[in-house]
Structure 1
Amino acid sequence: MQDPKNWEKVFDTFTDGIYITNADGLTLQVNRAYEEITGLNAENLIGKYMTQIVQEGYLSTSITQKVIETKKPVSIEQEIKNGKKVALNGFPIFDQDEILMVVSFVRDVTVLNKIEEDLKHSRFLIDQYQQRLNKMQKTQNYVAESQEFKNVMSLAHKVANVDSTVLILGESGTGKEVVAREIHEQSHRNNSLFLKINCGAIPENLLESELFGYEGGSFTGAKKNGHIGIFEMANKGTVFLDEIGDMPLHLQVKLLRVLQEKTISRIGSTKSIPIDTRIIAATNRNLEEMVQDKTFRQDLYYRLNVVSIILPPLRERKTDIPPLIEHFVNNINEKYRMNKKLSPSMLKCLMDYDWPGNVRELENIIERILVTSEENEIIPKAGLLPWNPSVASILELEADEIIPLKEAYDNLEHTILQNAAKKYKTTYEIAEALQISQPSVSRKLKKHKIKWNE
């Protein structure tokens, strides 16, 4: 299938029109169905930018440009040169965080009564394509320097070779989804779908239909043709149930049946549908306590907890922080076309922090530091970090580096004033503690933009 001509033959088997461009809007591929639906000739489109095609009047507007601008799926109606109207669904294909290409699906507007099912089918195809693209890149999608996290990934690779149910435990932001995806990618199921659902982020009534699907007309507002749940959709693949501790009790009963009998029943149906889907669950809650409190079923807990993987928080594996920082800095530099780095003093500030939000917080802080700092080599500055390094830490750090004395003084002054503002109730108390006048305290608080309410 490496031969591009083979891909052209595959595209031509679709009844939907398919239009593919690169990230700049240059037309790469148009299938036969697109030509038949729109009446446009592929020779007039391939090799041209979408802006040029619109200017020449072949299309009234470009869905590709909207997808590139928003980096999100877009649905529009479009008028062709011959006056015909079509419905379009455009999807971005990502390489990490950057758009690699845009794939658009087109259908005659006369079949709009089926557009929702077509859209779901299109997303299904895009998901498969995205996962195959990620697999082809064969890049390790995790950073593991500490022995603690290496042990976690070693266990993940062992259980990847079998179909045992896995329960991943750890604080929020420790990388539970990363571990789940690694298990899937290293398993024999890696050519099928990996689908994630957050059990705590979806309303209870919608969660059941998303997991198990429903028959047409089974409740008010149900689609005429019904809906396929993710357990069916991920057949031969993996379903990742994040925040499993938030699943309602009545759905826990249905999940238990899936684990025991390997079958599901759609809402509104008594028919059992066999499935071959691996289940990986994760939570940051204490399920044993929830079992004792009768908010989580004991039998389900034992079914899920065949193999448990416990992710240590970032504060307990600090040797992972430097390579994680390097990874995030490289990604952000590439994403925003920058060339910034962190000074040794900034690295030490980051190493000294406890990271209650774990890896997710670290990633967000690194992006904040890089995009808000003007220097290419970033040192600790007042207000740059959401916390204040200790005075002792600042004195120790600045001794190792050459920076303007005024800048070092300002940083130190800001930290001392902010610490004092938290400790004392009035500017007079701060002045007495710092052995300066009260007007000087007021002036310096204003200079450093430290909020103060006496």
Structure 2
Amino acid sequence: MSSDMNNLEHYKLIFNEILDMTEDGFVVTKVDGTIFDINNSYCDFLGTTKEKAIGHNIEEFIKNTKMREIASSGMKEVDVIHPLVHGQHYNGDKFLFVTRAPVKENGKVIAAVAQVKFRIQTLNLSQKLYKQDQELKYYKDELQRLGESKFDFNCILGESESFIEVKELARKASRSNLAVLINGETGTGKEVFANAIHYASDRKNNPIIRINCAAIPDELLESELFGYEEGSFTGAKKGGKKGKFQLAHKGTIFLDEIGDMPLHMQAKLLRVLQENEIERIGGYEPIPIDVRVIAATHQDLRKLIKEKKFREDLFYRLNVINIKIPPLRQRKEDILLFINHFLGGLNKKYKTDITISQRAIELLLNHKWQGNIRELKNVIESAYVLTEKDILGVKHLPSNLITFAPNAASEVKGGTLDFILNEFEKDIILESLMENNYKISKAAKDLGIHRTTLYKKLEKLNIKFSKAVEVEE
């Protein structure tokens, strides 16, 4: 017994010597937080001594200590940043770098121990890390806020009855975690709807990961979706790579142009949806995932199923909630809404006050818009650049638009090529006259023709206006 006691005393002396050799602070507390042992480095930092510290609760020295939490939870914390409360900044230090752990005997926590790193370089590092962590949190919150505001359902333009029904269905879809399949022609805004569903859901605090299945070569699609392990193939990155599904964990993955996914990848995607787990290329262990899937396509998947180009079982997995976005030509009442939106945005950005002529609006309203909203935006931006004065007119629009906008008169005359061209020329001349306050010389110069030629065209096209406005300079 005496030998055991001597060994115990020897070990305690050795233990204390080791603790006093390090610059780090060490403290051992009972379950209730009472200090059982503490080294000199920590005492120096706290401005106390062993005699004054041992037997007192650690909360007297560190008000926001977590030692009692460690003892009660039985959980270990490694290299965490611990900010000191205001008024307890020792030696000007505001942070500590701490590792805490419970001490167990037969599964029961009997004490807690902490290592405190307060060397100058460590504290500087911890302060930088803490600052970066706070900045990262700020930017993450700001990014989320911007995403929510940008992709809010109320920000999606459209007042037609059919479009309002689609928006309402999408709102309902955002309240669940069920798979969504969005159908729509190119340029109808499928990705906008996918983003709106995500940011209106309870997954909005986690990422939405987007991938275009048509833009990635077949041989790379699997590694993009599921990732790979280190050394799984030539050129694989050291440490491997996470796939899109892993990056979207707890969030949403948006699979755009799902109809272009090769059949062998469709089979692997189906398994992921069924099992809620993935396997990296070169990996052996399945990785569980929690991902909401939104897919989109401009193709008729039922037709592709008949052609054996798309798996029927995958279709039913994706098509739980089906959202069909109507093309722009089927919601003409929304075209003017987009015209004003795009033109207003350009005016605001470049500090201009350009308006659009009524005849130009008529042409735009009657166009087929095969490229939908994307095409309309392109036309408005292109015409805006060509506009030299304050009115965006017919002459600034692409020539292909005139053949799709016959007015009542052209319908009577059968819409012949000569008549359509004459109407187009008439529109341009009238717009030029209005822009130049009906002054013939200025209008002719603007059109690049002689004033005599302009008079002849006015007579040919039967353009008449009051003599009172034919004022020449």
User: Structure 1, residues 237-285: CA drift from partner, whole Å, max 9, x if none?
Assistant: 1111000011111111111012111111111112111111100001111
Q: How far has the Cα of 1:399 moved from its partner?
A: 10
Matching residue's letter, 1:339: D
Q: How does 1:99-248 map to 2 (within 5 A)?
A: 129-135=142-148, 140-248=154-262
User: Structure 1, residues 361-392: CA drift from partner, whole Å, max 9, x if none?
Assistant: 001111111122111111111x6424251527
User: Structure 1, residues 128-164: CA drift from partner, whole Å, max 9, x if none?
Assistant: 7533333257864310111111111111001111111
* 2:346 counterpart of 1:364: no
CA distance in 2, matches of 1:138, 1:270: 39
CA distance in 1, matches of 2:337, 2:382: 18
User: Structure 1, residues 83-121: CA drift from partner, whole Å, max 9, x if none?
Assistant: xxxxxxxxxxxxxxxxxxxxxx9xxxxxxxxxxxxxxxx
CA distance in 1, matches of 2:248, 2:139: 14
Matching residue's letter, 1:159: A
CA distance in 1, matches of 2:275, 2:237: 28
User: TM (normalized to structure 2)?
Assistant: 0.58
Q: Secondary structure at the match of 2:369?
A: coil
* 2:363 counterpart of 1:352: no
Q: How far has the Cα of 1:333 moved from its partner?
A: 2.0
Corresponding residue number in structure 1 for 2:5: none
Corresponding residue number in structure 2 for 1:263: 277
CA distance in 2, matches of 1:396, 1:318: 25
Q: Secondary structure at the match of 1:387?
A: helix
CA distance in 2, matches of 1:318, 1:275: 43
* 2:323 counterpart of 1:293: no
Q: Secondary structure at the match of 1:354?
A: coil
CA distance in 2, matches of 1:352, 1:408: 29
CA distance in 2, matches of 1:253, 1:408: 67
Relative to structure 1, the CA distance from residue 249 to residue 125 in structure 2 (aligned partners, 3 Å threshold; closer, same or farther) is farther
Relative to structure 1, the CA distance from residue 241 to residue 142 in structure 2 (aligned partners, 3 Å threshold; closer, same or farther) is same
Matching residue's letter, 2:202: H
CA distance in 1, matches of 2:206, 2:194: 14
Relative to structure 1, the CA distance from residue 138 to residue 177 in structure 2 (aligned partners, 3 Å threshold; closer, same or farther) is closer
Contact 1:128 1:192 in 2 (8 A): no
Matching residue's letter, 2:277: T
Contact 2:147 2:199 in 1 (8 A): no
Corresponding residue number in structure 1 for 2:298: 284
Q: How does 1:15-164 map to 2 (within 5 A)?
A: 129-135=142-148, 140-164=154-178
Q: Secondary structure at the match of 1:241?
A: strand
Relative to structure 1, the CA distance from residue 356 to residue 124 in structure 2 (aligned partners, 3 Å threshold; closer, same or farther) is farther
Corresponding residue number in structure 2 for 1:275: 289
Matching residue's letter, 1:308: N
CA distance in 1, matches of 2:172, 2:295: 17
User: Structure 1, residues 21-49: CA drift from partner, whole Å, max 9, x if none?
Assistant: xxxxxxxxxxx99x979xxxx9xxxxxxx
Matching residue's letter, 1:147: E
Contact 2:367 2:401 in 1 (8 A): no
Contact 1:398 1:408 in 2 (8 A): no
Work out which of the residue numbers 316, 326, 346 in structure 1 matches 2:330. 316
CA distance in 2, matches of 1:213, 1:124: 27
Q: How far has the Cα of 1:127 moved from its partner?
A: 7.3
User: Structure 1, residues 206-254: CA drift from partner, whole Å, max 9, x if none?
Assistant: 2211111111111111111111111111111111100001111111111
Structure 1 gaps, min length 5: 1-5, 7-11, 16-31, 43-104, 106-121, 414-433, 435-454
Relative to structure 1, the CA distance from residue 176 to residue 388 in structure 2 (aligned partners, 3 Å threshold; closer, same or farther) is closer
CA distance in 1, matches of 2:231, 2:321: 40
Matching residue's letter, 1:211: L
Contact 2:335 2:365 in 1 (8 A): yes
Q: Secondary structure at the match of 2:255?
A: strand
Structure 2 gaps, min length 5: 1-82, 84-93, 98-119, 404-419, 450-459, 461-473
* 2:265 counterpart of 1:251: yes
Q: Secondary structure at the match of 2:173?
A: helix
Relative to structure 1, the CA distance from residue 234 to residue 359 in structure 2 (aligned partners, 3 Å threshold; closer, same or farther) is same
User: TM (normalized to structure 1)?
Assistant: 0.60
Relative to structure 1, the CA distance from residue 165 to residue 396 in structure 2 (aligned partners, 3 Å threshold; closer, same or farther) is farther
Relative to structure 1, the CA distance from residue 123 to residue 356 in structure 2 (aligned partners, 3 Å threshold; closer, same or farther) is farther
Contact 1:315 1:355 in 2 (8 A): yes
Q: How far has the Cα of 1:170 moved from its partner?
A: 1.2
Matching residue's letter, 2:367: Y
Q: How far has the Cα of 1:324 moved from its partner?
A: 0.9
Matching residue's letter, 1:148: S
Contact 2:151 2:196 in 1 (8 A): no
Contact 1:176 1:311 in 2 (8 A): yes
Identity among equivalent pairs (%): 45
Q: How far has the Cα of 1:124 moved from its partner?
A: 12
Relative to structure 1, the CA distance from residue 196 to residue 127 in structure 2 (aligned partners, 3 Å threshold; closer, same or farther) is farther
CA distance in 1, matches of 2:368, 2:192: 21
Alignment RMSD: 3.8
Q: How far has the Cα of 1:349 moved from its partner?
A: 1.3
CA distance in 1, matches of 2:166, 2:332: 15
Relative to structure 1, the CA distance from residue 285 to residue 161 in structure 2 (aligned partners, 3 Å threshold; closer, same or farther) is same
Contact 1:287 1:301 in 2 (8 A): yes
